[in-house]
Amino acid sequence: MSRELLFPVDYFDWFKLGSAFFCSFLITYLAIPVIVRVSVAKNLFVLPNGRTSHKYATPTLGGIAMFAGIMVSSLLFVNNKEFINFQYALAGCFILFFFGVKDDLTPLTWKVKLFGELLAAFFLIILGDFRINEFGGFLGLYHISYIASVLFTFLVFIGIVNAVNLIDGIDGLAAGLTFLSTSIFGAWFIMTGQIALAVIAISILGMLLAYLGFNVFGTTNKIFMGDTGALLLGYLMTVFVIAFIERNAVSYLPWRVNNAPIVAFAILFIPLFDTLRVMAIRIGKGKSPFSADRNHIHHRLLDLGLTHVQTTMVLVATNTFFIMIAFLMQNLNINLLICVIFALGIIKSFVPVYIRKRWMAKAPVLTPEMVVSHKNVSTETDHSALHDNIYNQRN
């Protein structure tokens, strides 16, 4: 088998990929400080509350910079001939961008947001004809009809977009997980010669690298991606999942991945599984599956005393583990593989609960005398710390 077939990327393709990365990174990096200054001037902040994990008022319009970086880079370096109906994919992306900005400025109801997601999906799936047609033998299904394909792809679209949006609860988590997923998809697109999709993936990596610098390590210009950024990432992950599944349906592909639908699920395991788990808990308690709470996996890890960065690193490492399992076991029966993935996911969900129970069992029991003594000692220190925090926020 020739080298060109095994690794069909030439020097010009590498130039486009490198240029797309630096273009996306530079635009995002330069845009975020401007957006922060405008947010400060216009009081466009999200305030801490009982459910969120941040402590200070923070701008949430980072998704605008992310959108600018990925759009400019894609428009400059994606060849429309290599991405059929690229204009419809762009149209869906623009629709979610406008709904995301509106939601970050004035919160939308879940019905309005769902309408925006369905409208974006219409452009991508119906007009762009970007659909999942192959089940690969899952539940005994292989090639499915057009109607079934459209309905299932709509379901996948809504699931992935909202999963990425819901996992965006602490610094760096949504960006870190999608950075990992995009790296896997992007490497596979490069190996299979899908340069248009590879350019988009590389652009996302550049954009996320710039964003993470401000979101995780930023001080004066700290920012959140908001719904604008989370919806954008969810949309692009959906595009990658569909392309990955459909391309792997071709049996003669040199770098073909078996059981592609399950492997794609594993690549986005933490957002997808956590969303399913949290919604099941809410429904089990008689609540709306869309109600807000602190049942997400990152909340449980924070309750163990981990920092935002530590929690993000643990979950990215966990997602990496599930990706490795899926690739190593891709030759299993597809139904057996999904059972293995879900069984490991359920075990993973109980680990923080088990650790917390063990920790609580070993914790010393506080007597009333100890509580009074602690309050007397710490009151002056607490007031001083509070004064320092207020002073630092003002300055």
Share of residues in the chain with pLDDT > 70 (%)? 85
Cα–Cα distance, 395 to 390 (Å, whole number): 9
Domain residues of the chain, as ranges? 3-359
Q: What is the CA radius of gyration of the chain?
A: 23
Confidence of residue 363 (pLDDT cuts 50, 70, 90): low
Q: DSSP letters of 321-364?
A: HHHHHHHHTTTS-HHHHHHHHHHHHHHHHHHHHHHHHHHHHHSP
Residues 6+ apart with CB under 8 A from 45: 39, 57, 58, 59, 60
pTM: 0.87
Q: Is 314 in contact with 329 (CB distance < 8 Å)? A: no
Cα–Cα distance, 36 to 68 (Å, whole number): 15
Structure tokens that stand for 357 in this block: 């129970």
What type of residue sits at position 37?
Answer: R
Look at residue 10 in the predicted model and tell me its pLDDT. Answer: 81
Task: Write out the H or E segment, with its range, that includes residue 243.
Answer: helix 226-247
**Helix and strand numbers, DSSP H then E, in the chain:** 15, 2
Residue 365 has pLDDT above 90, yes or no: no
Residue 378 has pLDDT above 60, yes or no: no
Look at residue 52 in the predicted model and tell me its pLDDT. Answer: 57
Q: Is 257 in contact with 94 (CB distance < 8 Å)? A: no
Residue 227 has pLDDT above 80, yes or no: yes
Report the sign of the C-alpha dihedral through residues 270, 276, 282, 288, in that order: positive
* Residue among 135, 251, 260, 124 at smallest CA distance from 188: 260
* Residue among 132, 121, 316, 76 at smallest CA distance from 231: 121
Look at residue 219 in the predicted model and tell me its pLDDT. Answer: 77
Query: Which range has highest mean pLDDT (6-10, 42-46, 342-346, 374-378)?
Result: 342-346
State the chain's mean pLDDT as an integer: 86
The length of the chain is 395
Distance spanning both ends of the chain, measured CA to CA: 64
Task: Determine how many CB atoms are found less than 10 A away from the CB of residue 136.
Answer: 18
For the stretch 258-272, pLDDT in tens is 999 999 999 999 999
Task: Determine how many CB atoms are found less than 10 A away from the CB of residue 251.
Answer: 6
Mean of the pLDDT values across residues 372-380? 45
Look at residue 318 in the predicted model and tell me its pLDDT. Answer: 96
Half-sphere exposure of 17 (CA within 13 A, CB side): 19
Mean of the pLDDT values across residues 152-156? 97
Distances (CA, A) of 235 to 18, 35, 154, 228, 322: 23, 23, 12, 11, 22
